[in-house]
Amino acid sequence: MATAARTPVGEGTGPLDRLRALHREGRLAHAYPEVPGLLAELASTGDPAGPPAPDLVRAGQLLARLDPGEVLAEHPGTDVFTVAVTGHSTLSGLTAPLTAELARHGLLLRAHSGDFGSWFRDLQDTGSELYAAGADLALCVLDAHVVFDELPHPWLVADVERVAAAKLALIGSLAERYVAHGGGTLVLNTLPLQRSHARRLVDAGSRARLGIVWREFNAGLLRLAAAHDRVHVIDLDPLAASCGPVSEPRLAAYAKVLLGDELLSCYAREIGHLARGLRGRAKKVLVVDLDNTLWDGILGDDGAEGIAAATTYRGEAFGRFQKAVGQLGAQGVLLAVCSKNDREPVLKVLRDHPDMALRESDFVRINANWDPKDGNLLDIAQRLNLGVDSLVFADDSAFECGLVARSLPAVAVVRLDDEPALHVERLLADGWFDVPELTAEDRVRAEQYRTDAARQDLQESAGSMEEYLAGLGVRVSFSPVREHEIARVSQVTLRTNQFNLTTERLQQADVRALLDSPGRLVLAIRSADRFGENGLVGAVLISIDEGGGSWRIDNALLSCRVFARGIEQACLAAVLRQARDSGAAEVHARYRPTAKNRRVRGLYPSLGFAETGEGGDGTVSFRHHLAEESLPGVPAHIELTAEFTARQD
């Protein structure tokens, strides 16, 4: 008699089934490192032009039942992200998608929810959860009823204008209060105007005036983000347009659910993008396939004359995708190619084909060969001196996407398909490259990486590293951060992982607060060489005790683009000498280890610091006694200009 084989629970099933099995078995906390990959697979099944996949929200319902303490007990290094939520209506539909969206970006949600309709009290009371220490985000979720519920009956457009102006002033004052007393980022949102409100006016002229008043009100909300570094405003209008109705009438009437579950799921996705950016996890490189991704057709089979990115209906869809890719590239996203093709035909198409909106010069790296794509992605990351977690990979092949997802789980995979009209939506759905603010350095980043090829040629032609550095002509400017550099310094702390001695992340408001604090120095590192300007590439943060007898280096950071040039030695040598010349007796420093900054473990000892202790979390403390014989010098190949007093400009 045949005996049926028993399949272990959770094996051979989809990602949601796997999560359910882990939850049933009580092993979800233990297996938490698997969660981001499972959620990434679920997210890829959604409509790129609509709300997140329903199964992703179902997964969030499971994860929301998980005690964050259990996860931390199993995996102490898990990144916890604390969110306090308040609002005007019922927001229970936000918890599950918010949990899932943060988890798929590697963030463990610790949530605090206010009472129904308590948004004003929570923002007014500096003792509320919104102001609690450790809250990364304070979400104040509002809807149009905060205005319409205060109108007289019956009402006119003039009444809406009056109430909306008062409400905008109130929200603005509460935002200022949060910025002054809160520690995180306050998230507001625009308020979609629903058809049921506008249609209560029977004449077209009144409806038009209402539209004007309402758009001016929402524009005022958006301006709050421009006025405050720690205020972010999510525009719900485009989300409502793509995610479905703002609310469901019966739930709105009976349960006060004034923002529907699908809209809240889209809102949660935006919060995930914001949280990732605040943690410095924005991606840096977009790697694209070519055949049926960047153009219609297969170059090896159809030849250059048989592919299209214009002139045909399908070709025009690929052309739109190329322009979207180029738009990202113009804002500092590095573009690269990973294609199974012969290199020379690919280069000829990128140089000469009349349909191409993207050309060879738009890419910092072109890997066109027949090697496995996961290996090519590793090569691209190594050539750019970046981790693979900086990469986003877009391909139409399910096999290639699956290969990369399995072998390089840190790479974000954009799974395209045979419908090119959806390529743009799939690429942009997850905001992989979103940053708090675009800096001047971002806009010229691609050109800076292209000049690195010339530096590499010089290095390969030099007889030794000393000869290479001498020929490079490195110039370094080291001085206090200026006002226009605050955004870039914040970005350096958020996005630098390898040469980051403590990996403490600073928002713009944090940098500005340090600049305004007595006894604190925030010094910017700027570099250039014979091939051009590198811009602001690092920073050193210093605390000086009240008497000046002791200095402490709170952190030192340097972009991976300028590693191995002696820049860090030059700047820290200047710090030590300035401390001694100012009368200090010692300089303290510390190093906190992470998975990515191990290469700088020996930096301080190499500069004459002595180790003084190690904490329970692995943080190592150092001290330099500033004896003349132990002070490091500036490398001979570097021309250093150092100032420690802020310029008045």
- Please report where in the chains the tokens 């949600």 appear, as a residue: 109
Q: What is the pLDDT of residue 2?
A: 39
Looking up tokens 């990364």 gives 136
- How far lies 546's CA from each of 158, 494, 499, 584, 589, in Å? 58, 29, 29, 11, 17
Cβ atoms of 632 and 573 within 8 Å: the answer is yes
Enter the tokens of residue 134: 């450790």
Which DSSP symbol is given to 53? P
pLDDT for position 646: 61
Point out the residues of the chain with pLDDT beneath 50. 1-11, 648-649
Give the global pTM.
0.83
Closest CA to 119 of 136, 140, 138: 140
Residue 25 CA: distances (Å) to CA of 60, 65, 75: 17, 14, 18
Contact of 566 with 632, CB cutoff 8 Å: no
Say if strands 620-624 and 638-642 run parallel, antiparallel, or are unpaired: unpaired
Helix (H, G, I), strand (E, B) or coil at 476: strand
Q: Which residues contact 83 (CB under 8 A, 6 or more apart)?
A: 98, 102, 109, 110, 111, 112, 135, 136, 137, 138, 139, 271
Over residues 22-40, the pLDDT tens digits come to 999 999 999 999 999 999 9
Topology of domain 285-428, CATH: Rossmann fold (3.40.50)
Other C-beta atoms lying within 10 Å of the C-beta of residue 179: 17
Q: Please, where in the chain does CATH 3.40.630.30 lie?
A: 440-642
> How does DSSP classify residue 194?
P
Nearest to 334 by CA among 439, 447, 181: 447
Q: Where in the chain is the domain with CATH 3.40.50.1110?
A: 79-278
The residue type of 390 is S
Spatial separation of the C-alpha atoms in residues 551 and 1, rounded to whole Å: 81
Rounded distance between C-alpha atoms, residue 618 and residue 594, angstroms:
9
User: How far apart, in whole angstroms, are the C-alpha atoms of residue 584 and residue 625?
Assistant: 9
Which CATH architecture does the domain made up of 79-278 adopt?
Answer: 3-Layer(aba) Sandwich (3.40)
C-alpha 544/C-alpha 521 separation (Å) is 8
Q: For domain 440-642, which CATH number applies: 3.40.50.920, 2.70.98.10, 3.40.50.150, 3.40.630.30? A: 3.40.630.30
Q: What is the residue whose two structure tokens read 């603005």?
A: 172
| pLDDT tens-digit map of 519-534 | 999 999 999 998 888 8
Is the sign of the CA dihedral 10, 11, 12, 14 positive or negative? positive
Residue partners of 219: CB distance under 8 A and separation at least 6: none
Cα separation, 434 vs 328, in Å, equals: 10
DSSP 597: -
Please give the Cα distance from 180 to 184 (Å, whole number): 11
What sections of 145-248 are H helices per DSSP? 145-148, 157-181, 195-198, 204-227, 236-243
Long-range contacts of 162-167 (CB under 8 A, 24+ apart): 164/213, 164/214, 164/217, 165/217, 167/217
A 10 A CB-CB count for 10 gives 16
User: Under a CB-based contact definition with an 8 Å cutoff, are residues 386 and 499 in contact?
Assistant: no
Where in the chain is CATH 3.40.50.1000? 285-428
- The residues, any chain, with a CB within 8 Å of residue 592's CB and separated by 6 or more, are 501, 502, 503, 617, 618, 619, 620
Question: Which three-class secondary structure state does DSSP give residue 329?
Answer: helix
Structure tokens at 327: 């738009």
Q: What is the phi/psi pair of residue 384, to 5°? A: -90, 0
